[in-house]
Each structure stands twice: as C-alpha cells, then as structure tokens.
C-alpha cells in the first residue's frame, strides 16, 4: 500500500449486511488523494469540484445502504488519481485534463507510476467488489448491483434538466421497472442513459455485472440536489421507497448469461 499519514488507510470502504442480496457501489465517492501525491498539484478551489469526485454520492450511498440494510462498497480515492469506473486500457483511466482543467500531477507519468496506482487503488477496489459478489453467489444468492453516481447540473455551459437518470446496457431487468416507478410518481424529470450511456465497455458494471449476467442498474443524481446532508437523506429515502418494492421481482432471481 502507498505511504499514508493514516496507517489504517484503505482504498475502499465496506458496509456489510450478510442478509441482503443488494450491493451498492460508489466508484467516485471520495475526493481523497493520499498526501504523497501532493493533491496532484490541483489548486485548493478545484479539489471540491465535480472533476475530482461525484459530489453527494457518498452520503446518498451510505444513507441508502442503512435504509435498505444492504451491502455497499465505496471508493476512498479520487477519480483523478485513477478512475475505477474505467477499463485498464481506457485512455481516460488517469485523466490529464478534465472539464478544461489540466491535472498537473497526471502529466508525463511513466509506466511504473501508473502501475503503482493500479496496484494500490484500482485493483484493491475491484477485488473487494468481486469478493463480495462471489460471497453472495457461493450462498446461491443472486446479487442485485446498484451503482451510485452524480452529475454536475451544468457541463460546458449546457444545463442538464434531469433530476435523476437511470443508465443501463443490455440487461433491463432492474432498470426497466425502476424507470416505470420513477415515471409513475411524476415528481422528477427522469433521464434515460443521460447524460452518459450505460454501455461503456470495461466500466464497473460491465466488468462485474454484465459479463456475469447479474441484474444491475446505474443511478445518476444531479449534484445540486444532493450537495448537503439534507438533500442526500431526502434522495436516499426516496430511492429506498422505490427500490424496496422492486427487490422481489421474479426476473431478478437468476443469472442471465
């Protein structure tokens, strides 16, 4: 593990509930950058921006896990150090520029420095996810994987109208009914594979869910709605109300490969 002032540092946080089949994932939960990386020479005002982490996603994930009494695994490092929601061969695995901001500490990295980040942050996170999934499968329990993200309300000058968005690739066993419930409420503007596509090959859900036939969904919430504890709890309560109704659907009880 990398040198860190906190000797108990782990690149991920785990919430365990052995009685639950639900596994919440939060790839971009943290803006933490271990001190040996000198914050990647990012200015202080930029360390709290959306380019560094998914604002509000950690609070929503933890609150939702507590309400659902589910499992959860959250990253404990910034996406700018290395992005766990990318394939290892993805050119955006370690971003050199994000939203027109140059990341000085990511310029001119040699292979050894990249490998260090892969081994110390990326791999342990994914190994923790894989371990939990295998634990559930070993008990003949089909997991339901829910990946929690957030998106900035304005990107490159363009406003994003959705309050919440549901992303999926081929498997719609969970995303379809979830969208139906959200739309039936008529409370929010619902995005469908917005502002990103759910079909990114090599991302976390592709790697751990799609390739293994495990039911899953990715949820994106607009960051201005969950920028404080009150908003995070509000959305966790709302999602708990809906997700709890969906967990017993027949289509979620088998591996679809």
**What's domain 12-248's superfamily in CATH?**
Zn-dependent exopeptidases (3.40.630.40)
In this predicted structure, what is the pLDDT of residue 95?
A: 96
In this predicted structure, what is the pLDDT of residue 7?
A: 62
In this predicted structure, what is the pLDDT of residue 4?
A: 52
Low-confidence ranges of the chain (pLDDT < 50): 1-3
List the chain domain ranges: 12-248
CA separation, residue 217 to residues 145, 175, 193 (Å): 7, 6, 11
In this predicted structure, what is the pLDDT of residue 2?
A: 47
In this predicted structure, what is the pLDDT of residue 71?
A: 99
In this predicted structure, what is the pLDDT of residue 257?
A: 80
């Amino acid at each position: 593990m990398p040198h860190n002032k906190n000797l108990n540092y782990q690149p991920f946080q785990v919430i365990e509930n052995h009685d639950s089949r639900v596994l919440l994932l939060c790839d971009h939960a943290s803006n933490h950058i271990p001190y040996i990386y000198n914050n990647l020479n990012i200015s202080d005002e930029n360390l709290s921006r959306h380019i560094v982490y998914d604002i509000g996603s950690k609070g929503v994930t933890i609150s939702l896990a507590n309400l659902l009494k589910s499992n959860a695994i959250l990253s404990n490092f910034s996406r700018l150090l290395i992005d766990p929601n990318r394939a290892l061969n993805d050119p955006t695995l370690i971003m050199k520029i994000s939203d027109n901001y140059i990341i000085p500490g990511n310029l001119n990295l040699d292979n050894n420095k990249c490998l260090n980040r892969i081994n110390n942050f990326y791999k342990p996170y994914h190994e923790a996810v894989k371990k939990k999934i295998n634990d559930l499968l070993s008990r003949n329990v089909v997991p339901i994987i829910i990946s929690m993200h957030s998106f900035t309300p304005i990107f490159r000058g363009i406003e994003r109208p959705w309050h919440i968005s549901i992303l999926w690739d081929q498997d719609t066993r969970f995303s379809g009914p979830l969208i139906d419930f959200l739309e039936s409420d008529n409370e929010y503007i619902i995005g469908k594979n917005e502002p990103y596509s759910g079909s990114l090959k090599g991302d976390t859900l592709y790697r751990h869910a799609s390739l293994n036939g495990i039911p899953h969904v990715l949820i994106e919430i607009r960051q201005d709605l969950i920028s404080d504890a009150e908003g995070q709890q509000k959305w966790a309560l709302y999602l708990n109300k809906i997700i709890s109704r969906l967990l017993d659907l027949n289509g979620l009880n088998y591996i679809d490969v």
